[in-house]
Amino acid sequence: MEAWFIFIILISFCLCLLITLLFSSHSKTSRHPLPPGPLRVPIIGSVLWLRRSFTELQPILRSLHAKHGPIVTLPIGPRPSVFISDRSLAHKALIQNGAVFSDRPKSLATSKVTNSNQHSVTSAFYGPTWRLLRRNLASEMLHATRIQSFSGTRKWVLHTLLNRLRSNSESGKSIKVIDHLQYSMFSLLVFMCFGEKLDDDQIKDIEYVQRRYLLNFDRFTVLNFWPRLTKILLRKRWEELLQIRKEQEDVLVPLIRARKKAKEEAINTPDPEVVVPYVDTLLDLQWPEEKRKLDEGEIVSLCSEFINAGTDTTSTALQWIMANLVKYPHVQERLVEEIREIMRDRKEKEVKEEDLGKLPYLKAVILEGLRRHPPAHFVLPHAVSEDVVFNNYLVPKNGTVNFMVSDMGWDPNVWESPMEFKPERFLNYTEKNGGEAFDITGNREIKMMPFGAGRRMCPGYNLAILLLEYFVANLIWSFEWRTSNGGEVDMTEKEEFTVVMENPLEVCVFPRS
Ligand code: HEM
């Protein structure tokens, strides 16, 4: 089915290209060439490139960069994709020319189903819709005081996780860590989103509908070749996508309605102790241009984005960091020693959030984890708001601009032995800088950018770092972590929604007395 379908698409693309070439105008910028890249085989090449994942592209991009320099183009799909691997060029684009490089490309047809036609923070064009949603998320949920208001929730999630690990350790079974980490981050983000402690089954239902789309993403790519045609020729697959969306709405809409009701009732008796969940902030919003409130479908898309953006990224980073602590027991031991210093005269067992600032080695472990194993090897695709000349090349408005996060963090010109896991490098860095904290935002200079940089930088980076520090400190302080059966930790990577461990970490944990 797919072979003849792609044949029809190729013929159609040829016609479109011909028409575009005949009628395209010549502007000032079009006198500059696109950044260099592989020989372009019109149409067929584009379709073949589109079928490759980002992980498959990475080694190809590296050899292209070695040949052509730090900015190259691949003809992925109908539009050119520019790839930037150099941290100084990333700074020039994202920080110095942030106003131009902060747009997003037009979403593909399948993504429009899940992002309500680009009404989400990640997908919205750089304009009033994005500004409204981003400001709401950053100030109402991710501002320091709002993050602080959820400290009780983090404590609850941590204790549930520790209890689960404890009961596994008592039975002597080896533990597949990622399942527990993912469940914990889900419970936390779901609470922040809906303000309710849901039971196991409800959380598993949400986890199921959320992950189903992410893990099936590749199967739906083909639908974007020519949506009008695929809606006829690949009708069953479109129905499958719409069914996944419907199931997501079936699970999330009742939670949104319950919150709306609770909010209306609370107007008469507001409780200052109660936290404000994300849905409440969305119920109050109004689209700036259409002058109407958000509909239920749009709220579903935004809640889904909030849960997905915060869950897989954080649990992936946690798994990589724990894997390194298991692989390198001397790092684990040094971390325990640092924690022991501050816990010496304490009765209670928990490392509190207020303690985290006194643990520089812990911070170094987290930063090294994010540098060596960034959950996202590329930022989300950017777009320029107009054709621009950048580094003497044309970066066209109708293309995408991609930044290679992992390669920047592995740059041997900045990091000595970049592929080794050495948290000490961040202690050295801090001392060299006269005690100034490492600048993860890259505002002054980009040395690594696990959260991106500039106006589209991850708004959740403060929350993410807090979660990583709090959970790693307590997981290590509560248990000694070892590989199951004395085996090796396999650090092979695999691309899912994030870049995960191909063979998930399996451990035995032993309570520390
Ligand atoms: C270790 C955890 C995390 C990592 C590594 C991470 C990484 C990233 C990256 C690389 C981007 C793309 C930036 C760009 O396109 O230039 C991004 C965007 C985003 N992240 Fe995160 N993130 C994490 C946690 C979170 C959390 C906890 C939240 C919220 C609850 C969040 C919400 C978002 C949103 C909404 C965007 C889109 C921003 C925009 O387009 O304006 N992330 N993140």
The pLDDT of residue 290: 86
The answer to whether 59 touches 375, Cβ cutoff 8 Å, is: no
Whole-angstrom Cα distance, residue 181 to residue 475?
Answer: 11
Question: What is the mean predicted confidence (pLDDT) over 114-120?
Answer: 96
Lowest-pLDDT choice from 21-25, 173-177, 504-508: 21-25
pLDDT tens column, 39-69: 665 555 555 555 566 667 888 999 999 999 9
Find where tokens 């020319």 sit: 97
For ligand 1, whether the C-beta of 310 sits within 6 Å is yes
Whole-angstrom Cα distance, residue 50 to residue 244?
Answer: 23
Check the annotation: does 508 bind a ligand: no
Lowest-pLDDT choice from 53-62, 66-75, 148-157, 220-229: 53-62
Question: What is the mean predicted confidence (pLDDT) over 162-185?
Answer: 92
Burial of 160 from C-beta contacts in 10 A (0-12 / 13-18 / 19+): middle
> Of 264, 325, 351, which Cα lies nearest the Cα of 491?
325
Question: What is the mean predicted confidence (pLDDT) over 204-218?
Answer: 84
DSSP character at residue 351: P
The band of 172, judged by pLDDT with boundaries at 50, 70 and 90, is: confident
The answer to whether 509 touches 169, Cβ cutoff 8 Å, is: yes
Say what the pTM is. Answer: 0.91
Amino acid at site 331: V
Nearest-CA residue for ligand 1 atom 19 is: 458
Query: What tokens were used for 156?
Result: 């609850």
For ligand 1, whether the C-beta of 322 sits within 6 Å is no
The pLDDT of residue 26: 45
Q: Which numbered atom of ligand 1 lies nearest the CA of 316?
A: 1
The pLDDT of residue 11: 61
For ligand 1, whether the C-beta of 372 sits within 6 Å is no
349 or 256, which is more confident? 256
Nearest-CA residue for ligand 1 atom 8 is: 451
CB burial of 110-142 (b: ≥16 within 10 Å; e: otherwise) equals: bbbbbbbebbbbbbbbbeebbebbbebbeebbb
The band of 288, judged by pLDDT with boundaries at 50, 70 and 90, is: confident
Compute, in angstroms, the gap from residue 129 CA to the centroid of ligand 1.
18
Burial of 485 from C-beta contacts in 10 A (0-12 / 13-18 / 19+): exposed
The pLDDT of residue 79: 82
pLDDT tens column, 381-403: 999 999 999 999 999 999 999 99
What ipTM goes with this model?
A: 0.99
Which of 458, 467, 469 has the most ligand 1 atoms within 8 A of CB, as the residue to mutate? 458
Nearest-CA residue for ligand 1 atom 15 is: 380
Per DSSP, the three-state class of 513 is coil
The answer to whether 142 touches 129, Cβ cutoff 8 Å, is: no
Query: What tokens were used for 141?
Result: 């949920």
Whole-angstrom Cα distance, residue 450 to residue 366?
Answer: 11
The answer to whether 89 touches 70, Cβ cutoff 8 Å, is: yes
Whole-angstrom Cα distance, residue 305 to residue 301?
Answer: 6
pLDDT tens column, 310-328: 999 999 999 999 999 999 9
Task: Give the highest mean pLDDT range of 2-6, 60-64, 181-185.
Answer: 181-185
Lowest-pLDDT choice from 14-28, 44-58, 191-205, 255-269: 14-28
Q: From the CB of residue 63, how many other CB atoms can be counted at a distance below 10 Å?
A: 10
| pLDDT surpasses 60 at 25 | no
Nearest-CA residue for ligand 1 atom 30 is: 310
